[in-house]
Amino acid sequence: MNEQNKIAVLGGGSWATAIVKMLSENLETVGWYMRNEQAIEHIKENEHNPNYLRSAELNAEQLDLSSDINTTVANYDVLIFAIPSAFLMKEMEKLSISLNDKIIFSAIKGIVPETGLIIGEHFNQVHNIPLENIGVITGPCHAEEVAMERLSYLTIACQDETKASFVGTSLESWYIKTKISDDIIGTEYAAMLKNIYAIAAGIAHGLGYGDNFQSVLMSNAIREMKRFIKKVHKMKRNINNSAYLGDLLVTGYSIFSRNRQFGNMVGKGYTVKSAQIEMSMIAEGYYATESAFKIKENNGAKTPIIDTVYGILYKNKNPKKEFKKLADNLD
Residue 227 annotated as binding site: no
CB of 226 to a second copy, least distance (A): 8
Residue 61 DSSP label: G
210 binds a second copy (CB under 8 A): yes
Size of the residue set binding a second copy (CB under 8 A): 43
Q: Is 54 in contact with 148 (CB distance < 8 Å)?
A: no
Beta strands in the chain (DSSP E): 7-10, 30-33, 63-66, 78-81, 103-106, 111-112, 117-118, 134-138, 152-158, 176-181
Cα 258 to Cα 195: distance, rounded to the nearest angstrom: 9
Please state, in angstroms and rounded to a whole number, the distance separating the CA atoms of residues 202 and 110: 18
- CB nearer to a second copy: pick between 10 and 143: 143
Q: Which is nearer to a second copy, 119 or 243 (CB)?
A: 243
Residues 179-208 that bind a second copy (CB under 8 A): 179, 208
Does 109 belong to an annotated binding site? yes
143 marked among binding-site residues: yes
Binding residue for a second copy, selected from 216, 272, 279, 282, defined by CB under 8 A? 216
Contact between residue 171 and residue 158 where contact means Cβ atoms under 8 Å apart: no
d(C-alpha 145, C-alpha 282), whole Å: 23
Q: Which is nearer to a second copy, 80 or 222 (CB)?
A: 222
Query: First-to-last CA distance in the chain?
Result: 48
239 binds a second copy (CB under 8 A): yes
CB 227 within 8 A of CB 301: yes
> Is 94 considered catalytic here?
no
Q: Which amino acid is at 260?
A: R
Q: For residues 68 and 138, what is the distance between their CA atoms, to the nearest angstrom?
A: 26
Q: Where are the beta strands (DSSP E) in 76-195?
A: 78-81, 103-106, 111-112, 117-118, 134-138, 152-158, 176-181
The footprint of a second copy on residues 310-329 (CB under 8 A) is 327-328
Query: Closest separation between CB of residue 68 and a second copy, Å?
Result: 33
Say whether 296 counts as a known binding-site residue.
no
Binding mask 268-307 for a second copy (x = CB under 8 A): ----------------------------------------
| Per annotation, catalytic residue among 21, 102, 194, 296 | 194
Helix (H, G, I), strand (E, B) or coil at 235: coil
d(CA 330, CA 145): 33
Is residue 254 close enough to count as binding a second copy by CB under 8 A? yes
Q: Is residue 147 annotated as involved in ligand binding?
A: no
x-or-dash string of contact with a second copy, 125-164, rule CB under 8 A: --------------xxxx--x--x-xxxx-----------
Which parts of this chain interact with a second copy (CB under 8 A)?
Answer: 139-142, 145, 148, 150-153, 177, 179, 208-216, 218-220, 222-223, 226, 238-242, 245-247, 249-250, 253-254, 327-328, 330-331
As annotated, the binding site for NAD(+) includes: 87, 143, 258
Positions annotated as catalytic residues are 194
